[in-house]
Structure 1
Amino acid sequence: MAKKRIKEERCVVINGKFCPESKAVISVFDKGFLYGDGAFETMRGYGGRIFRFEEHYRRLSWALEYLEIDISYDSGEIRDLIRQLMKKNFAKDAYIRVTVTRGSGDGRIDIEDKSSPTVLIVVKPFTPYDKKFCREGMTARMSGIRRNDKSPVPQLKTLNYLEPILARREAREAGADEGILIDNQGRVMGGAVSNIFVVDDRGLVTPAEGYAILSGITRKAVLEIAKDMRMKAVESHISIDELLSAKEVFITNTLMEIMPVVEIDGKIIGNGKPGPTTKKISKAYKELVTKETGTG
């Protein structure tokens, strides 16, 4: 008879040290806690393998460089700590988050050279989105929050997530699943926590980098897939009218992968069901993940 595994408390890593979740603490003067001064990455583990870890690490490194936060861990060390946590926490299919803050200070907003960054790694079993969203699609609502198209902040995955939080709250209060953010020029930037794609007469269209969007890892993968499938893909501005009149709309991020959107502000998109292009992209993405992680 197989032995029953005793349920153990999950561990996290703080500054290179493993500790139980219930005993994980950071300083009340940590600038990530006080001011959102830091950056993070969310990754997916599939069958014990991290999907596109190096791309996530490069994006985190770029954000930290911009914020002038220097950590002593290289990509190999971070990857090794994540892998150890995946084993310790019995999380082959995993939600992975790496959070880096400027560290503790004297409570002031000033950047202090003596601050030692806090590096937190969390790994837990992945809880997938409800399958009905993939089958039937999500609904969305335009947010009243406006992103500054001249600001570099939306291009960084920082700990200050107030805009996405408010946009998601607006959506949920209106009975929708996701909020859609617009910039101060009236252009569609993406979902509260996702990149956005539309299918229209131009082909597959997504907002261009260099404006108030985060350059998503899944977004990049979708553009690669479109190229491989010889599908016309365009990085361009999307107006509200173009969004609402699109044949198909879908959103992407690391956790949800490819998610169809079938209604925005009460307006039915296409025929109100996930469209053929969305389904093709979703299938191809899953195949890409299987190929790169050796799962399936």
Structure 2
Amino acid sequence: MSDDADRRGDDADRRYHVDGEIVPAESATVHVEDRGFVYGDAARETMRAYGGRVFRWERHADRLARSCEALSIDHGLSDADLRGRVDETLAANDLSEAVVEVSVTRGRRAGGSGRSGGSGDRFDPRVGGDPTVVVTVRPLPRGGVGSDPVFDGPATLQTVKTRKTPDRAVPADAATHARVNEVLARLELRVTGADEAMLSDPDGRVVGGADSTLFFTDGTGLKTPSLDGPVVPRVARAEVIDVAEEEGVPVEEGSYAPSEVREAEEVLLANATWGIRPVRTVDGIAVDGDGDGVAGPLTTLLSRLFDRRVEAACYGGERS
């Protein structure tokens, strides 16, 4: 696959996978009565392809399956079928370096009148059509060892008033299309221009970023909000924890106040797109008091080891 294709931005020639067919981006549509569009009744999974391979595909496939199970959506496809569609979409766009998103909706809501399609049944998940499965991609630079980050420097993190939806309302284990909560959190950033929102649960305990897992250290080890709260179990979260534990870094999963993050020696964020991203400031306060934007020693170590894992898994480990 060409390097030129890898670097393309918005491109009229982009092609997506919609219900089993590769179609031009401009034709890649779902029906206006699709429940994913109307209600956000859909599962989604975001992953990253390096060198034409999805990093930690098995973990992503398992997480998508858990999301579909939580929503009781049966798309009828095996993991191999889904991976085939991902590979076909990357190939159709001549992309080897990309962010990949897989969406599975419950399909179109039933129309007509009467008991099977009346307004009283509109939220009934048993009333609908066949699931809709969509795969989209967008290009990114090469990852792995010695690569340039996809983000523009360390992040600025801001505590927001918007609270994370309680797990009893929407299971945090289900990655869905219903993202209004995160959108509202990001809207609050317009005042300060921060890069990422730090959300808390209804009791004021930190759960993470709007679109990322949060880690920090006070010098005694790596800390991250526990999955006992409404914390998203991202694949990147599990990977960072694996990297730390393999290196002998103590990992604590607990309940933390925003003040503990503000007072931390190092703060970092992780998701499938960024990998690991250091944080420069929290609520305008420089992390560890310097504000120079240079990642701390633990963040640097974890980033290097994370990149080595990507290199070994997706590029054959040719760089050291």
Q: Is the 8 A contact 1:134 1:260 kept in 2?
A: no
Q: 1:207 maps to what in 2?
A: 225
Q: Which residue of 1 aligns with 2:300?
A: 279
Q: Secondary structure at the match of 1:121?
A: strand
Q: Which runs of 5+ in 1 are unaligned?
A: none
Return closer, same or farther for 1:143/1:128 CA change in 2, 3 Å cut-off. Answer: farther
Question: Taking structure 1 as reference, are residues 87 and 148 closer, same or farther at Cα in structure 2, changes over 3 Å only?
Answer: closer
Shift of 1:115: 2.2
TM, length-normalised to structure 2: 0.85
Q: Letter of the 2:248 partner, please give it.
A: R
C-alpha root-mean-square deviation of aligned residues, in Å?
2.3
CA contact (8 A) 1:90 1:125 kept: no
Deviations 1:47-106 (A, max 9, x none): 111101111111011110110100111110111111121111011001111001111013
What amino acid does structure 2 have at the position aligned with 1:117? Answer: P
Contact 2:165 2:181 (8 Å CA) reproduced: no
For 1:211 and 1:242, the matched residues in 2 are separated by: 17
Which residue is 1:175 aligned to? 193
User: 1:34-45 residue pairs with structure 2 within 5 A?
Assistant: 34-45=38-49
Note if 1:262 corresponds to 2:280: yes
Q: Which residue of 2 aligns with 1:185?
A: 203
**Contact 1:133–1:259, Cα closer than 8 Å, also in 2:** no
Q: Which residue of 2 aligns with 1:144?
A: 161
Q: CA shift at 1:8, angstroms?
A: 7.6
Q: 1:118 aligned to 2:132?
A: yes
Per the alignment, do residues 8 and 261 of structure 1 end up closer, same or farther by CA in structure 2, a change over 3 Å counting?
Answer: closer
SS of match in other structure, 2:190 = helix
Cα deviations by residue, 1:195-244 (Å, 9 ceiling, x for unpaired) = 00011144100011131111011111111111111111111112112111
Contiguous gaps of at least 5 residues in structure 2: 6-10, 112-121
Q: 1:136 to 1:116 in 2, by over 3 A?
A: closer
Structure 1 length-normalised TM: 0.92
Paired amino acid for 2:174: L
SS at the partner of 1:154? coil
- For 2:67 and 2:23, how far apart are their aligned partners in 1? 27
In structure 2, what is the Cα distance between the partners aligned to 1:114 and 1:267? 50
Determine the structure 2 residue equivalent to 1:87.
91
Q: Which residue of 1 aligns with 2:8?
A: none
Tell me which moved more, 93-102 or 164-173.
Answer: 164-173
**Conserved? CA contact 1:101–1:119, under 8 Å:** yes
> Which residue in 2 is equivalent to 1:75?
79
- Counterpart-to-counterpart distance in 2, 1:48 and 1:134: 21
Q: How many aligned residue pairs are there?
A: 292
Identity %: 32
- 2:119 alignment partner in structure 1: none
AA aligned to 1:204 is L
